[in-house]
Chains A and B, each alone.
Chain A
Amino acid sequence: MMPKLVSGVLAPVMALLAAIVITSGVVVFVGASPVDFWEVMLSWPSNRNVLTVLNQASMIFLSGTAAAIGFRMNLFNIGVEGQYRVASYVAAVFAGGAFLPGALNIVASIVLAMLAGAAWAAIPAVLKVTRGVSEVISTIMLNAIAVFLTGYLLSNYGEKAADTRRTTPLEDSTMLGGFKLFEDKDGAVWTLSLLAVVVGFLFWFIINRTRFGFDLRATGMNESAAVASGVSVKRMVVTAMMLSGAVAGLIWLPNLFAETASGNYFSSSVFQSGLGFTGIAVALLGRNNPVGIALGSLLFAFLGVQSTQLEFAGVDVSNDVVLVTQGVIVLTIVIAYEVVGRWRAAADQRAVRAALDANANKQEVAA
């Protein structure tokens, strides 16, 4: 039998190699030197950028986990993007309002963000179980609605700042300092990046160790068998979708509450959009399991941060070429997992046959 570790590592390695080859091809095609390109991309980042990679990775991880909760039961929550946008806005309004003192304000904002994300995710869930609307369609549309909704609210109720509108910035007492791993000027790992660790552990524990997680996985693996086993699929759809949305609500909070981040309010320039889609890619890359998602998040954050160096290093390639790399990784990983999965299934079957031949005499005959 193929060792589990080998088969687990093989697919990502194959995908990475393919991504390197194809990206190099693109780099050559646009007339730059792939050697220079990879030299920049694979160089060790500066201290400041190490921290940026960690902060970005934690947000991507939260997003990947949010997507993975849905994926685990074949629920395609493409709406993480909209859910964390709405949740971030709600949290920023509440936290900026400073209704509660210091730490309490932070905790309340976190809870509120989760509730807002869950509520935004509940819309497609309810549409799906009552009306049979595909969650793929409705979440994509809700992403667009989220952009307009937050934009509308900002421009009507937001505070004027220069030529833009924003939510009221957080008071100093509700901001978190973070962990300064290097010198002060390099910045810090945002405090709420720790949410990624907490969420990662809870995700693993709930999925693998609880009855609820079992029901969720069973529904994902074989819905009709789950129904026959007594799972109420409708209830699971709503619960899983809302959990997914609640986790999505956390995505941008590390940034919002970080003293060292560029802005402690919600505005169209400060809010980092797109993390919801990156999360989907990373969930695919990490096979919906927490360790895989963590590695995928680090890889994507690393590639994203490194690509900003291309310009400074004088490599004549747009840093958007890294999107090609990321895209190719996701595409090839799906294929690679499938190939490796087939090898494993065949190996399993050989193992069963071998084990049975060893001790059994007569085997089956069937219709």
Chain B
Amino acid sequence: MATAPQGSTADGGNSVSVQGITKRFPGVVANHDVDITIRGGTVHALIGENGAGKSTLMKILYGVQKPDEGTITVAGQQVSFSSPTDAIKVGIGMVFQHFMLADNLTVLENVVLGAEKLHGIGDKARAEIVRISDAYGFDLDPDDLVERLGVGQRQRVEILKVLFRGAKIIILDEPTAVLVPQEVDALFANLRELRASGHTILFISHKLDEVLAIADDITVMRRGTTVGEADPKTATKLELAELMVGSELPSPETEESTVTDVVLLELSDVSLLDDRGRHLLRDIDLTIHKGEVLGIAGVEGNGQAELVETIMAMRKGTGTVRLAGNDIAKANTRERRELGIGFVPEDRHRHGLLLDAPLWENRVLGHQTREPNITGPLINRRDARKDTQRIIDAYDVRTPSMDTHARALSGGNQQKLIVGREMSGDPVLLIAAHPTRGVDVGAQAAIWDHIKRARREGLAVLLISADLDELIGLSDRIEVILRGRLVGEFDPRTVTPQDLGSAMTGGQDAETKDETTSTSNGEGAAS
């Protein structure tokens, strides 16, 4: 799994080696035991799905964040950064995905901004910019206003900024996300020039075609750690996708079907428009039966969140929604919850918790009109606390007490509390959006078990997940959502990740123009 530490100076001055990096944030371990060795003068690709820990690692490399454990070695010297300035000093530069340029300034002004000491702000700086631009084929005029530049040119300004500051090691965060294919080709040509002149490039991406086209080495991250390396000359996209999504992870095998023929949730012709009148959801028809888990697969941003929020009445869609045969189109969020819809939101910090409130108050949240939390118009503290203890015990929420603020818990424990809460009060339907995202392996298995058990007892579940293994393992049926429509139904017993990936990206296996849609197969799951 880990890279054997190599002599990091073997390939010249610009090698980087990261060993045993661990970074914890309150409630979550973003990186653990990350080992990467980047040879000098190469393009090294770092791939992994969203949330795999790539960004945290980059920030550590660029001095934005300090690792809790582990070492960084640059050109054979162990270094420790307390700010990006330190990283720049040893020759590391970073190009962020979102450009940090002042539109109303010229290329020259943008480049020298904050680096005035290097070459001044006059002719010397201009000469240096022209020199760099010529050397790597950037084709930039120092006196052009940035607001007149295209996206590709702006990106080159960003790279130029980094080179101007003397960077020999350049980190590029998803550089192709904003580019059209021709611009990607141009970028790659620039990168090859840079490599030829001895620069080291760390290329972060989840677009496998591009990675295979440009990289000399590939490192794959998943769930906060490096899980493998691949040689782009021999690796296939499928292999990389598997490494990224992790098909060898403990898979949530469902037992025999418990699907009944009682329809519990029925959506017909549900549509949702945004402010500008575009369809976020279009003519959605779906049914979930008692005891059935319906999985929704899709590249993120294709309407999953909107579908969930429409069912929860957090957004007002059109069409009919029936719960256990009753039309609930007019019911608001609270009434729908009271009818027995449990909701595990996608973003637990935004939608699921009061971070600065104690756990027992978080137990009340979303159930503040139901026993045991209330008696009449009053909060029943005693019974609410008693029930919180029940959830803490039954769902193995690790906390010193129920008076601890939710913020202090780890992501996995926060999520177990939410799942426990939403399973309380005998729900008939559970909407689980990415229920195991960002939680540890132990909590993941526990949450899967709870969902499976509830399903046996007749719960209907709408499961949204980016983890295809989770979808295939838990679902009785899988629907694929693409640009706000349901575009295909699959049987998880026979479907392969390739079939799903193909449906998720609209049946294309190669490049697509739409950047929200990833290129192919397993990658779809990853974005």
Contacts and interface: CB of A to CB of B under 8 A. Distances in A.
A348 B405 contact: yes
Interface string B425-453: 00000000000011111110000000000
Contact of A210 (B51, B338, B379, B438): B379
Most A CB within 10 A of own CB, among B356, B365, B438: B365
Contact of A218 (B30, B223, B332, B354): B354
A222 to B, nearest CB: 5
B53 A367 contact: yes
Given A352-B408, A364-B412, A364-B443, A232 B26 contact: no
Given A348-B404, A348-B408, A367 B333 contact: no
Interface of A: 208-215, 217-218, 221-222, 224-232, 345, 348-349, 351-352, 354-356, 360, 362-367
A367 B224 contact: yes
Interface stretch (B92-100, B139-147, B344-352, B506-514): B344-352
A223 to B, nearest CB: 10
Interface residues of B, number: 61
Nearest to B308: A228
Contact of A364 (B28, B366, B404): B28
Contacts of A230: 332-338, 366, 368-369
B400 A355 contact: yes
B223 A367 contact: yes
12 contacts: A213-B379, A222-B350, A225-B365, A228-B345, A229-B367, A230-B337, A345-B26, A348-B404, A352-B409, A355-B399, A364-B443, A367-B28
A44 B172 CA distance: 68
Contact of B224 (A210, A345, A356, A366): A366
Contacts, number: 140
A208 B352 CA distance: 20
Given A228-B343, A364-B440, A366-B411, A214 B52 contact: no
Contacts of A349: 26, 408
Contacts of A351: 400, 404, 408
Contacts of B30: 366-367
B379 A211 contact: yes
Contacts of A221: 354-357
A217 B379 CA distance: 13
A351 B441 CA distance: 23
A213 B438 CA distance: 32
Interface in B150-192: none
A356 B30 CA distance: 19
A43 to B, nearest CB: 41
Given A225-B350, A232-B332, A367-B223, A212 B28 contact: no
A352 B412 CA distance: 14
Contacts of A225: 350-354, 365
Given A209-B379, A230-B337, A214 B364 contact: yes
Contacts of A210: 377-379
Given A230-B333, A232-B332, A348-B408, A365 B32 contact: yes
A211 B224 CA distance: 40
Contacts of B443: 364
Most A CB within 10 A of own CB, among B30, B367, B379: B379
B396 to A, nearest CB: 10
A228 B412 contact: no
Most B CB within 10 A of own CB, among A208, A221, A352, A354: A352
Contacts of A366: 28-30, 223-224, 410-412, 438-440
Nearest to B25: A366
A232 B442 contact: no
Nearest to A213: B379
Contacts of A348: 404-405, 407-408
Contacts of A218: 354, 357, 365, 368
A367 B51 contact: yes
A246 B306 CA distance: 39
A364 B367 CA distance: 28
A289 to B, nearest CB: 14
Contact of B437 (A211, A352, A362, A367): A367
Nearest to A352: B408
A231 B408 contact: no
Nearest to B351: A228
A61 to B, nearest CB: 25
A363 B410 CA distance: 9
Contacts of A226: 365
B350 A365 contact: no
Shortest 9 CB-CB contacts between residues of A and residues of B: A230-B334, A364-B440, A355-B400, A229-B366, A367-B51, A228-B351, A230-B333, A348-B408, A366-B28
Contact of A231 (B28, B334, B379, B412): B334
Given A211-B379, A228-B352, A228-B366, A365 B223 contact: yes
B398 interface: yes
A283 to B, nearest CB: 18
Most A CB within 10 A of own CB, among B29, B51, B355, B408: B408
B61 interface: no
B314 interface: yes
A365 B351 contact: no
Contacts of A222: 350, 353-355
A362 B52 CA distance: 20
A317 B335 CA distance: 62
A348 B51 CA distance: 26
B374 interface: yes
A14 B381 CA distance: 34
B365 A229 contact: yes
Most B CB within 10 A of own CB, among A229, A232, A345: A229
A213 B399 CA distance: 26
Contacts of A214: 361, 364, 368, 379
B27 to A, nearest CB: 8
B354 A352 contact: no
A184 B393 CA distance: 64
Contact of A211 (B343, B366, B378, B399): B378
A102 B404 CA distance: 53
A221 B413 CA distance: 20
B312 interface: yes
Contacts of B440: 363-366
Contacts of A213: 379
A232 B357 CA distance: 20
B312 A364 contact: no
Contacts of B352: 225, 228
A364 B354 contact: no
Interface string B80-112: 000000000000000000000000000000000
Given A212-B377, A356-B398, A367 B438 contact: yes
Given A228-B366, A360-B398, A366-B438, A345 B408 contact: yes
Contact of B29 (A232, A352, A364): A364
A337 to B, nearest CB: 13
A227 B365 CA distance: 10
Contacts of A229: 333-334, 337, 365-368
Contacts of B441: 365
Given A222-B353, A228-B366, A364 B410 contact: yes
Contacts of B409: 352
A238 B118 CA distance: 57
B356 A365 contact: no
